[in-house]
Structure 1
Amino acid sequence: MAVFLIVTGAVGLFAAFNLVLDEFAKYENPSKALSCDVSPFVNCSQVMTSWQGSLFGFPNPLLGVMGFVAPIAVGVMLLAGMRNGHRWFWVLFNAGVFLAWVFVTWLFTQTVWVIGYLCPWCLLVWSVTIPMFWIFTTWNAAQGRFGAGPQRLGRTLLPYSWAFVLANYAVIVVCILIVFPRVLTTLPF
């Protein structure tokens, strides 16, 4: 779990940091095409300039730059030998991971059905947040941090936790495949 959290946190931090750099480039030159503006429907600029790109009044990638430090820190703590910290710590961290999953799920729905463009850096953030939520939550339950009933369920599901990740990915891929052909026919080119 330690290595998993460090790797997913580092990949998410990398993607969020690149999004912040692209935001700075956009502020510097609003008409500049970004390196991730690669096609009519894979276009970071369009996603960034939408109201959803700054939901809380500042660019969303700043949340990622701050937030992805937490799984890295927790992973390092696990590597250092911390196993049975206070239950509230694990539940609170799990709540944060859950909120991150809810946020990327909302951003996915907005990107696909409202904005109509995909952002490769956002896709990378989604691709690490999804397994981080499903696998860590199942592992956390298996550790008994949510009580005895969830512990039994967590231990049963832990070997299959990747199935939840794959199902989550499948929903995203199917939605993109269904929605984007319609989006492409409405673009003015």
Structure 2
Amino acid sequence: MSPRPGAMSVESTAPVVDPDAADDTPPPRSGVAVGRPSALWVLLAGVIGLVASFTLTVEKFELLINPAYVPSCNLNPVLSCGSVMDTPQAGFFGFPNPLIGVISFTVVIVTGVLAVAKVRLPQWYWVGMALGTALGAVFVHYLIFQSLYRIGALCPYCMVVWAVVIPLLAVVASIALRPLAGNPVLRVLYEWRWSIVTLWFTALVLMILVRFWDYWSTLI
């Protein structure tokens, strides 16, 4: 039977499906998107930490070659790299501690470059980075305790590393824990992260002032 005039054929209304159309659809992007400020901070922290660690490594080798060498960071009785370098704590794992910083901050720089270039690294990578930075922060605070209460001197280049690791931990942890943003505790920590970092630095500065107040008071 022929269709009635004006009637629309079912076949004529069926959409034409191109079998290759699905291949033209870009796949969903995987990995973690990092904001530009966070990416720039990771890169900057890596550069500053690497420069400080590399300089300290060079100073350490100069001291090994020539025991009479005076490091450039020997500024006064308190701020004295040489006093710290000659201690067992300066080679906690059997080799100079700055070598750990050279390797670690190189990884941080590479991560920062990729993040700035908007390369989405997988979630597990950022979790690993956060754990590594947390371990670095623990080691840094061990060295802070040793410098203040056992060695009795401060290494300026080491202090640069201290100042970098703490905020780096805040940034990397906020990226790694983003999938858990619904957790009320983590949400509060995220919202107050820079206040916590500020209090952290304030506590360290007060500890340094109190520990070496006998010397600082002579400069007033």
Q: TM-score band, normalised by the shorter chain? A: 0.7 to 0.9
What is the aligned partner in structure 2 of residue 137 from structure 1?
A: 173
Say if 1:33 and 1:44 are closer, same or farther in 2 by CA, change over 3 A. same
**2: CA distance, partners of 1:174 / 1:101:** 19
**1: CA distance, partners of 2:79 / 2:112:** 33
> Which protein is bigger by CA-based radius of gyration?
2
What is the aligned partner in structure 2 of residue 178 from structure 1?
A: 210
CA contact (8 A) 2:133 2:169 kept: yes
CA contact (8 A) 1:36 1:120 kept: yes
Say if 1:36 and 1:137 are closer, same or farther in 2 by CA, change over 3 A. same
What is the aligned partner in structure 2 of residue 65 from structure 1?
A: 102
1:169 and 2:205 matched: no
What is the aligned partner in structure 2 of residue 106 from structure 1?
A: 142
TM-score normalized by structure 1? 0.87
Q: How far did residue 156 of structure 1 move?
A: 4.4
Say if 1:71 and 1:153 are closer, same or farther in 2 by CA, change over 3 A. farther
TM-score normalized by structure 2? 0.76
Match of 2:159 among 119, 123, 129: 123
**2: CA distance, partners of 1:43 / 1:93:** 31
Q: What CA RMSD, in Å, does the superposition of the two structures yield over aligned residues?
A: 1.9
What is the aligned partner in structure 2 of residue 31 from structure 1?
A: 68
Q: Which moved more, 1:11-20 or 1:171-180?
A: 171-180
**2: CA distance, partners of 1:7 / 1:160:** 22
Greater share of helix residues, 1 or 2?
1
Amino acid at match of 1:13: L
State the secondary structure of the residue aligned to 1:34.
coil
1:54 and 2:54 matched: no
**1: CA distance, partners of 2:104 / 2:65:** 25
Structure 2 unaligned spans of 5+: 1-37
Q: How far did residue 80 of structure 1 move?
A: 2.4
What is the aligned partner in structure 2 of residue 5 from structure 1?
A: 42
Amino acid at match of 1:124: V
Structure 1 unaligned spans of 5+: none
Amino acid at match of 1:137: A
Amino acid at match of 1:108: I
Q: How far did residue 163 of structure 1 move?
A: 1.1
